């Protein structure tokens, strides 16, 4: 098993020194979904939400969250993000909104946390905008799908 890197020799949490790592192109993709009542999904699709365009607001929230990840996760490094692609799609069959975020940078550490944060906040925004009509929504299956770059190279979920 690999050693956890966010602990020093004394077992105390610390920020990993990435100063000697090579700068490379790095990218990470995460995904997740929020399930809801069919009527809630119909309202999102029809644009009948009193708070506005649910998917447009969730997309912007995800982008903003990726850029603020280092402010939210204590040991994350602030990174110069070069691109964020947010996709929110409606799945009538599963009565869900699916979200996928791909975050890119050119730096010394990866953007996995930024992609995961973008997905979580986008889905939380869907919940926030629809909770008045459906408090039973469930955010689920949030996971890292793939990452590129760095010493460990490419990783893809099976």
Q: What is the pLDDT of residues 7-17, one digit of tens each?
A: 667 776 666 66
- Categorize the per-residue pLDDT at 50 as very low, low, confident or very high, splitting at 50, 70 and 90: confident
Segment 99-153, tens digit of pLDDT? 999 999 998 899 999 999 999 999 999 999 999 999 999 999 999 999 999 888 8
CA torsion 11→12→15→20, rounded to 10°?
A: -40
pLDDT-derived band at 3, boundaries 50, 70, 90: low
Q: Which residues are within 8 A (CB) of 66 and not within 5 positions of it... i.e. 6 or more apart?
A: 81, 84, 101, 103, 111, 114, 115, 117, 118
Q: Mean of the pLDDT values across residues 62-91?
A: 95
Q: Alpha carbon of 153 to those of 25, 28, 91, 99: distances in Å?
A: 10, 11, 32, 24
Decide if pLDDT at 72 tops 90.
yes
- Residue of 113 and 21 predicted with greater confidence: 113
Predicted local distance difference test score (pLDDT) of residue 152: 85
Q: State the Cα angle at 125 between 119 and 129, rounded to 5°.
A: 150
- Cβ pair 64, 115 in contact under 8 A: no
Question: Looking at per-residue confidence, does 22 or 59 come out higher?
Answer: 59
Average pLDDT of 63-82? 94
42, 85, 128, 134: the active-site residue:
128
Token look-up 């986008």 returns 122
- Is 128 labeled as catalytic in the residue annotation? yes
């Amino acid at each position: 098993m690999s050693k956890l890197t966010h602990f020093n020799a004394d077992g105390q949490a610390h920020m990993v020194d990435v100063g000697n790592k090579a700068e490379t192109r790095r990218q990470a993709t995460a995904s997740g979904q929020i399930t809801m009542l069919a009527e809630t999904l119909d309202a999102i699709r029809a644009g009948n939400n009193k708070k506005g365009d649910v998917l447009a607001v969730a997309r912007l929230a995800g982008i903003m969250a990726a850029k603020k990840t280092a402010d939210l996760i204590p040991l994350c490094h602030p990174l110069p993000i070069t691109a964020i692609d947010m996709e929110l799609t409606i799945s009538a069959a599963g009565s869900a909104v699916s979200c996928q975020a791909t975050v890119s940078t050119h730096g010394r550490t990866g953007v996995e946390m930024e992609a995961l944060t973008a997905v979580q906040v986008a889905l939380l925004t869907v919940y926030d905008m629809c909770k008045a009509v459906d408090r039973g929504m469930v955010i689920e299956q949030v996971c890292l799908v793939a990452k590129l770059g760095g010493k460990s190279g490419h990783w893809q979920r099976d």
